[in-house]
Chains A and B, each alone.
Chain A
């Protein structure tokens, strides 16, 4: 069965910490995405990547960066975590049809 795996389900971090969220897919997909999901705001695209070492900004990239050194792995980095980055983070990968999502990482920044 195809899978997108996010390394942590729940994370609690302190303001100012550097945070790494990891995502791995086993489907050999070229396209990978990072979203955050907040009540009333829905899914908002942070960054996406359509190939190794390629990245594109989404709608809300400020305060985030990404890394894609291998096709199967797409990492989201919060350079200096802030309380307004408390959210559910969802990774997804795709080919032509819709996305396959991971289970999400609920990040709390205190």
Chain B
């Protein structure tokens, strides 16, 4: 079993839709949770960063962490064609000198105009 599971999609939605992207994980010791966005032929860029459980909002994006269920989500409101990308979840343990992240395999999102 992988440490982090993510539905690969592809997920296709119309412009303006609310998008929900999800990951589950098995290691209850994970404390830091991130979402990366990766456009085609580019490196991933950090989108959201959260610590422990709860919600964090940044513009049209909301990251949600439920540690009791080992489940994290990224919501995109009023989705735009420019949101079309692969979204990767990532997480790591508390502390540690190397800050090594464990990544999901990514979900490919297409927002249709």
> Which residues of A come within 8 Å of B, CB atoms?
4, 31, 33, 40-43, 45, 48, 50, 56, 90, 92, 94-104, 106
Contact at B43–A103, with CB atoms within 8 Å? Answer: yes
Contact partner of B105 (CB less than 8 A), chosen from A41, A50, A90, is A41
Say yes or no: is B56 at the interface (Cβ < 8 Å to chain A).
no
Q: Bound complex: CA of A90 vs CA of B49, how far in Å?
A: 20
Which of the four size classes fits the interface of chain B?
20 to 34
Q: When the two chains form the complex, which single residue of A48, A56, A94, A104 contacts B43, counting CB atoms closer than 8 Å?
A: A104
Contacts A40-B8, A90-B44, A104-B41; A99 near B104 (Cβ below 8 A): no
Does B25 lie at the interface of the complex (its beta carbon under 8 Å from any beta carbon of A)? no
Which of A31, A56, A100 is close to B46, meaning CB atoms less than 8 Å apart? Answer: A100
**A42 near B88: Cβ-Cβ < 8 Å:** yes
| A-contacting residues, B27-62, CB 8 Å | 34, 36, 41-46, 49
The reply to whether A104 and B42 contact each other, CB–CB distance below 8 Å, is: yes
Alpha-carbon separation in the docked complex, A4 to B44 (Å):
12
Does B99 sit within 8 A of A, measured CB to CB?
A: yes
Would you call B90 and A90 a contact (CB within 8 A)?
no
CA–CA, A103 to B34, complex, Å? 19
- Interface contact tally, CB-CB below 8 A: 53
List, in ascending order, chain A residues with CB within 8 A of B46's CB: 97-100
- Given A31-B98, A96-B99, A98-B36 in contact, is the A103-B104 Cβ separation under 8 Å? no
On whether A101 and B103 interact (CB within 8 A), knowing A43-B88, A56-B98, the answer reads: no
10 other A-B residue contacts (CB within 8 Å) besides A102-B43, A104-B41: A31-B97, A31-B99, A48-B100, A50-B98, A90-B43, A97-B46, A98-B46, A99-B44, A104-B43, A106-B41
When distances are taken between beta carbons in the complex, the residues of chain B under 8 Å from A45 are: 100
A98–B8 contact, CB under 8 A?
no
In the complex, what residues of A have CB within 8 A of residue B90's CB?
98
CA distance A84 to B101 in the complex (A): 24
A102 to B46, CA, bound (A): 12
Given contacts A42-B105, A43-B103, A94-B99, contact A103 B88 (CB under 8 A): no
